[in-house]
Structure 1
């Protein structure tokens, strides 16, 4: 399961434990599990790729408000709540679309000038928009440049190979670490110049 699926499943299972399974499922463990799995699949079908935590909380709130009993929701009730939460999310995105587009433009301009994320302006959705524009090749490059990623984006970045710039940076760091290690090994084997000088002086004093 992806991070998104695990997060949604964990939150929904916790919510579902507050309610009782329908009577017709009493004593039927396999059927009860199948029913719960079906509900989770419905939720995952509607849940967005990014911002799903907020969407899920909104959906569960709508679902609870529309239920008239303390038993598990019917398929129609669940689908209705999912659709309502998705519609509300789309409305918010549409209302904020102009402002967010401007924010993405500002982020792109800042990055072109300074090479990093504009302070206080980062978000997973804006990073996704920058990737869509071709500012970054993928999530891995965006992360290397210090841009905000969501859980699913972090997972994809972890699976993606290093880009040229990140690889060169990695190689430079490894070269420095190797040089430091060699210097320490040489110091241990032969002693530092100061230690050798001090040792010679001590031997000369005893000889005199």
Structure 2
């Protein structure tokens, strides 16, 4: 996989580059500011970009704004955002752009190398993964959350984390069939219809995040 890293911390940037290189990926560019990120993605057209939220010059939201711009230019751009803070709004706004292939993780929770590598594979393949802390914050602040049962809310939160039906069943200690029933009820309550051309699993998460 060809990857661009945008991170203003030299130590973290180099650490990520070494980790990805050791895993067999090719880091085609490692930059420290949003303008360099935009240039690198346009030039190299990577399979994935890993982007820090806070970058120069103000160290507030330059990274997330650059990610938005990349998705506007090419909705298929795959991006994993790394953040030091739980910003539900930033995650929700970014997830409503593009055609899948997006992730939002907290830096201090990226401690398991194998899970991290699996995450980037999932996003590069078009999946969506949100840090569980961010998911819970978003769901707690949704005024229509009471339309779902507690179990359906649990299922939706795990769906938003990118888990398969089997993984959800294991996490909640229920059967795969029960998970499928909960998901169908979620689809119905969110009025996603029966259009097979729509990725209802993704739409179920996005509908709640941007409601």
TM tier relative to shorter chain: under 0.3
Instruction: Give the number of the structure with larger relative contact order, counting CA–CA contacts within 8 Å between residues 6 or more apart.
Output: 1
Normalising by structure 1, report the TM-score.
0.23
